Structure 1
């Protein structure tokens, strides 16, 4: 016998969990740094709320297993003495997981706190929490306007929503402030039709009204590699990007997959999208770099100021010295770089001075003019050519070794700095040794990068090809590290006519001075990455493509190993080596 079943229409609340019935656990972590892989938790605070009422709290200091960096202690007020008797996080974790069971997790900048929580679960053999997660920072960016708040920092939002607790970088206090912010935001989104937990999470993921209104800007965009430019109503470039498929990439800006707040803001301002179709993906990448460097769109963050790089110059004078400069000239001097900042260049210079007794004064010297020697001469760090103690011929030996260290062989500088770090470590001056390690890393990494760049920029012309998706070949002409031409050869075609035509129509490149004579370092590095990609074939090479046998590149692994030891020491509480 078949029993009949009466149909019952569900209520709206049955489509999701009403927010008034959701248990939220609002939590905050204090840590020794910003990376879950390298740093540890020092405090956890959590508040359990439901229906606007607090129903539980969880708070404890945590022993991070190593010293707390001084600047973290200044920020949070948590010192080594405070956590010496605190439990390890492995002892706290089971209780915390029990506290949050069945609840939705809430945090301000949730990806940060969740990364530490997931890493701790993995280390201690627990599965990562499967709880739904709400990020109040992300929610605030969707709900509040620039007129209401200048930013979405927790302290700012606590003032906007008049929280009874002031955030102070202590876990429980920050969690309590986040509770007030959460309740304020829930009240705001209620008027926008958000009544369930599912609505709340979907609201953050949904495209903004501005994104939805601007979807027509993606109409007619070709499905080819190239560069796209978002422009305002005056034709000014707001944002420049590149893609191997322009249609798919541009459309993504008007969907929920685009979550960057500044890009969503840019989309709201944009009035058109201009596209430039390119022959290959590499050409698109290079065009993007060049256009960003020229137009400097306000919503691009990278590659906007290639002219701001600096160089370490071994000057061309009677008694050369190492100088930080912003311009490479055709003056016979040796250059090391480019560096992203003057500070990094100065670190590399300090490392070189440890191995080479070059003068560090800035006056221009000559064999005829005598000046008093500085303290470096008295401690044997300079031969005092200023006083005539060292002849120009003798000093030239230091200059040759400096040029050699910059362009060919990093061993002398590496050995000198390694010996100094060992001495400092033996004297238990670990922090000073770590500073020297950073200086050595600045020198080695930049020397390795420059030698790699020079290996390509010294070649007048190279033609190379890589397999295309349709069975053809992408062909590129590279002159002195600059992309001079790009083209596509169809499947089954004979390569000679295509290569000859591409070479004949390629850009004429007149090299300038220095290690990057025809293009930015970033452009040449793009070309090098493409040359290293699987399947690339060299068609023509005018000259020799090689790296110095004793170049700095072979020392990179030793530098990275030192940093891995440093991270391990910090996690285990050992002094820096």
Structure 2
């Protein structure tokens, strides 16, 4: 008599086994995709100009997909410089209505992979929705997100695609063309999967849920959070010698600090910091804005090892338009009370030098550092012979002509940047037309540095000129938060108690506020970062101005109106995901249609 055949597993048993085992990565087909676009936001009108994709399984390339896409709009000069894709190249290319279905057919049944996937997949989903085309239920792997979980600063300086391509020895160098970047991302994917395999990650399910493990010693320190209140404030981790290791801020001190001792905290450096920590101190604040400002000030004071940002606010640079017989631009480290005009602050010397070059490209003021007499006294320099300097040193220009150029330069710094923008845009367009993209890229970076610096200076200066701004906003709990700002510095913060007289409370808060004296420069009374945090709160929804002493105004034709375009360009170039978690990579200034 034959033994009975084994019974087939039930559907429930088969499903349980599948979930337990997961889908081996080596058996999956991945479609690695990259896009080139005209800007950073599809919702704001940016279009796709190129799609590139590579289909791989088990380390083997199964196929490639590449097409230019006609965006039916002009490609901005700086985007052409970045990608090498010009208007003439896409003139005969298929529109997105044809390119998207072709790509979706190529990618059918695969796991989508992209570096900074929310950007690429977001564009594809947007145009699928515009075409009323059902979006396939793709599972998505983001190599940038994976990299920040397994790559340390000892491995690579950041998680840009270019840096990871070098780390993993990619056979293709990323160059902002879709297929090349997709090929490089394939090698990065394989390098990351190799590292993750050594950590026991072998299935898609394990890949999607992978996070750094929290040690038992880290979990045992959860009691350090218990004395802290459920209130907004600042927390300081200290070691056994009471040295500050890390400063942070939260709307709920106890809840936030407890996450450092659980699986919610996956940053390796934070694990190291927690191992050294012996105490946690909390400083309760009246409002979240006060907590953010106190955090900045404490970081600057203690310079904690495990804080990466805001430790050295004094390390900044300014551009100075001097006041002398023949004014010039100078790179300086601090602002003096000398009646000169200043642009900044710049957090890096490189950004300041790029901005300086943009201004010298537009205005032929002298670049020598000597003090010149009013009368000609020497022979011209090389820049004068090249036509890049008016050359007051040899009498090639008179005081009135030179002063007129300086006046235009000052106007560009303080009010209207249009002359710089138009001059450099024309130069970029000419270089791009000649396919001299590398040279045009230099001018693009110079222009972006100037626009950001001018917008920042105009915005900061507008607030720091005001002796006092008092503003209030109703918070989520129904109470009114009040802030007193003096010369750009937060001087007092409070919340009006229930039933209290609002006018009397505000008057008392103003009377007890810190005394802040005016000083020269765009950020005389606080760091630029503090003043910008105050500005973001003042500009947030629901804020009411109680009183303004002085004039708080920005020029209508100022640099800020040019920021949207440059921020969109920067977003389109960005494949960097910082090692620290961020909630959003979206630009602050969204481009408009």
> Which TM-score applies when normalising by structure 1?
0.74
Alpha carbon RMSD of aligned pairs, Å? 4.7
Q: Is 1:97 equivalent to 2:97 in the alignment?
A: no
Select 1:189's aligned residue among 197, 200, 215.
200
Give the secondary structure class of the aligned counterpart of 1:406. Answer: helix
Give the secondary structure class of the aligned counterpart of 1:442. Answer: helix
1:307 Cα offset (Å)? 1.9
Contact 2:115 / 2:185 at 8 angstroms: preserved in 1?
no
Counterparts of 1:209 and 1:466 in 2: how far apart (Å)?
A: 43
1:287 Cα offset (Å)? 0.8
1:324 Cα offset (Å)? 1.3
Worse-superposed segment, 257-266 or 539-548 = 257-266
Contact 1:121 / 1:128 at 8 angstroms: preserved in 2?
yes
Distance 1:236 1:135, change over 3 A: farther
Contact 2:428 / 2:444 at 8 angstroms: preserved in 1?
no
1:333 aligned residue: 340
Distance 1:275 1:337, change over 3 A: same
1:518 Cα offset (Å)? 0.7
Counterparts of 1:138 and 1:533 in 2: how far apart (Å)?
A: 30
Give the secondary structure class of the aligned counterpart of 2:514. Answer: coil
1:187 Cα offset (Å)? 6.6
Give the alignment of 1:274-285 within 5 angstroms: 274-285=281-292
Counterparts of 1:416 and 1:15 in 2: how far apart (Å)?
A: 62
Counterparts of 1:353 and 1:167 in 2: how far apart (Å)?
A: 37
Select 1:242's aligned residue among 239, 246, 249.
249
2:62 aligned residue: 58
Q: Is 1:403 equivalent to 2:405 in the alignment?
A: no
Distance 1:146 1:486, change over 3 A: closer
Q: Is 1:526 equivalent to 2:533 in the alignment?
A: yes
1:370 aligned residue: 377
Counterparts of 2:424 and 2:149 in 1: how far apart (Å)?
A: 53
1:500 Cα offset (Å)? 3.1
Distance 1:18 1:150, change over 3 A: farther
Distance 1:132 1:17, change over 3 A: farther
2:21 aligned residue: 18
2:4 aligned residue: none
1:387 Cα offset (Å)? 1.9
Distance 1:89 1:117, change over 3 A: farther
1:400 Cα offset (Å)? 4.1
Distance 1:154 1:541, change over 3 A: closer
Distance 1:364 1:180, change over 3 A: closer
Give the alignment of 1:244-393 within 5 angstroms: 244-367=251-374, 370-378=377-385, 381-392=388-399
Distance 1:540 1:187, change over 3 A: closer
1:414 aligned residue: 418
Counterparts of 1:95 and 1:287 in 2: how far apart (Å)?
A: 54
Counterparts of 2:408 and 2:152 in 1: how far apart (Å)?
A: 59
Give the secondary structure class of the aligned counterpart of 2:369. Answer: coil
Distance 1:272 1:118, change over 3 A: same
Counterparts of 2:447 and 2:396 in 1: how far apart (Å)?
A: 30
Contact 2:342 / 2:522 at 8 angstroms: preserved in 1?
yes
1:44 aligned residue: 53
> Which TM-score applies when normalising by structure 2?
0.72
Q: Is 1:219 equivalent to 2:226 in the alignment?
A: yes
Counterparts of 1:566 and 1:273 in 2: how far apart (Å)?
A: 38
1:241 Cα offset (Å)? 1.8
After superposition, the C-alpha distances for 1:287-329 in whole angstroms (9 at most, x for unaligned) are 1111222323333333233222211101233322111111111
Give the secondary structure class of the aligned counterpart of 2:28. Answer: strand
Counterparts of 1:41 and 1:144 in 2: how far apart (Å)?
A: 29
Give the secondary structure class of the aligned counterpart of 1:306. Answer: coil
Counterparts of 1:544 and 1:26 in 2: how far apart (Å)?
A: 58
Which is greater in Rg?
A: 1
Worse-superposed segment, 245-254 or 134-143 = 134-143
Contact 2:412 / 2:419 at 8 angstroms: preserved in 1?
no
1:47 Cα offset (Å)? 3.7
When the two structures are aligned, how many residues end up with a matched partner?
526
Counterparts of 2:217 and 2:99 in 1: how far apart (Å)?
A: 44
| Gap regions ≥5 residues in structure 2 | 1-9, 175-179, 573-593
| Gap regions ≥5 residues in structure 1 | 1-6, 74-79, 160-164, 569-577
Counterparts of 1:455 and 1:145 in 2: how far apart (Å)?
A: 41
